[in-house]
Each structure stands twice: as C-alpha cells, then as structure tokens.
Amino acid sequence: MEIRIIYSDIDGTLLKDDHHISPRTREKILELDRSGIPFILVSARMPQGVRLIQRELGNQRPLICYSGGLILDEEQKVIYSRQMDLELAIQVEADLERQCPGLCCNTYGGELWVVKDDQNPWVVREEQITEGKSAVGEVRDMFADAGGIHKFLLMGEPEEIARGEAFLRSEYPKLSVLRSNPYYLEVMDGSVDKAEGVRFLCGRYKIPLSQAAAFGDGENDLGMLCAAGYGFAMGNASEKLKSQVKRTTLSNEEDGIWMVLERIKAPKKAY
C-alpha cells in the first residue's frame, strides 16, 4: 500500500471502549507521523473534544471537526467552515421540539455547545466522555454573531432516533442527517461530509486521494471511507457499512488500526 496520509474517526475507531488509545496503536501512529505520514483526526465532535484526543495521541496536525463542517490547522486557526444558516437552525429546532420531544437536542457552533438543560442525563454523559462543558441558552441568542451553527446532535433511545431521522429526512431533505451511533443523530448543512474534509486536506498537503487511508465505524464515515484510496471499516462497524466498503480490519478493541498501519512502510524522508 502506498499511503502518504491517514484519516481516522475517533469514537469506536481510534479509541477502545474505555475511550483511550491503545499504546501500540499510538506508538505506530507517531512513528509514521514523524516520518512524514500525517495522521488526521476526523470526528463529529466539537474542537474541544477532538483536541482532547489529540493531546493523548501526541501529534500536531489539522483537525476535522463536526464531521467535516469545520477544519482547524496546526495552530488551531479555522481554514474551512460550512454552517447551517441561523434562521433555518431555529426553525429546525422548533420543529424537533414539537415532533420529537423525546430527543435531547444539542446545538454546536465553533467552540460553543448549547443546550436547554445541562442536567439532562444525555448531556451529563456527553460532558463526561468529552470532558467539555455545555452552556445553557437559546440558539438565536448564542449564535447570533456567528450567523449559523455547525450541527445539531440529537441524543435518545434508538426508536426515538429513528423517528427523528425519518422526520428530518422528510421535512428537510437538503440537510445532512446521519447516525454516528444508534443513540446519536448528527444534523448539519447538506454540504457537510467527512469526505469533503478529506478532499480539502489532501489538496492542502498536495497528496492524491488514491494515497490516503481512512478508518471508521459509523454511518457518517461512509463518504470518507469511499473517498480515500484505502478505506477500512472497523470490525465493530455494522454489517451494512462493511458491505459498502472494499476493506475491513479488526475491531477497535482488537487494535484494528494498528494491524493495518503495521503494513505501511515509513518513507525514507518526510514529504
């Protein structure tokens, strides 16, 4: 495999079920990264949540956040952003409150995470996982200056998520509506996809997509896995996802990323 850049989802892919990176996977990533093969984190998480994992990993590369809706460079400066218009976001939120009251709606934009109730168990759990803190407020007020949001994250039981997904796909067909796991539904501007983030950074590094590798386990990883020349679905991914990509590896618990990276030879000099 001629691989010059690597992209990886975080939850259920790079991280084991204890929410940490295995030592041998981390060691191999850093070995390749130091040799000139960048390892890029790609996540539906907000920047703070992605930086948390980058600190554990120990490299300094651009970050793809909000499933490709926001990209930060090595110095944490915004180099790419795709938002949902604020008025549309306000309308979507109001419709969700009426049609899907069982869902916990979280609104994200840039470095801001806004909720109606920060004591909601779903919010508390997400704060523990990401080590972030939500802010209580109204979308119209909190995102007025930005003029838009990067995503809604809807949390709930699978049957509630399915109801919300069906409603949004029917009423807002131009939005990007994807499940990151059975309990989370990501809602973004229709132009947002992890594949677009991969294309953007490959262009920035002047590396063809055919020489990119990507790893993922969720529905929102499909575009990225298909865009990269070497896309790998994790062993813990759904059978549907695994059937849609050419390559699979072991699960996150079995160090599936490490197994693939062991087959990559470091270049003689950095690109």
Q: What backbone phi and psi angles, to 5 degrees, belong to 219?
A: -55, -35
One-letter amino acid at 173 equals: P
d(CA 182, CA 157): 8
11 is catalytic: no
Q: What backbone phi and psi angles, to 5 degrees, belong to 230?
A: -125, 90
Q: What is the DSSP letter of 265?
A: P
d(CA 78, CA 65): 11
Q: Which residue has the tokens 């790893």?
A: 215
Helix axes 158-171, 86-99, angle to 10 degrees: 130
d(CA 17, CA 253): 7
Q: Helix, strand, or coil here: 176?
A: strand
Burial class (CB in 10 A: 0-12, 13-18, 19+), 170: exposed
Q: Which of 9, 33, 189, 255 is catalytic?
A: 9
Residues tagged active-site: 9
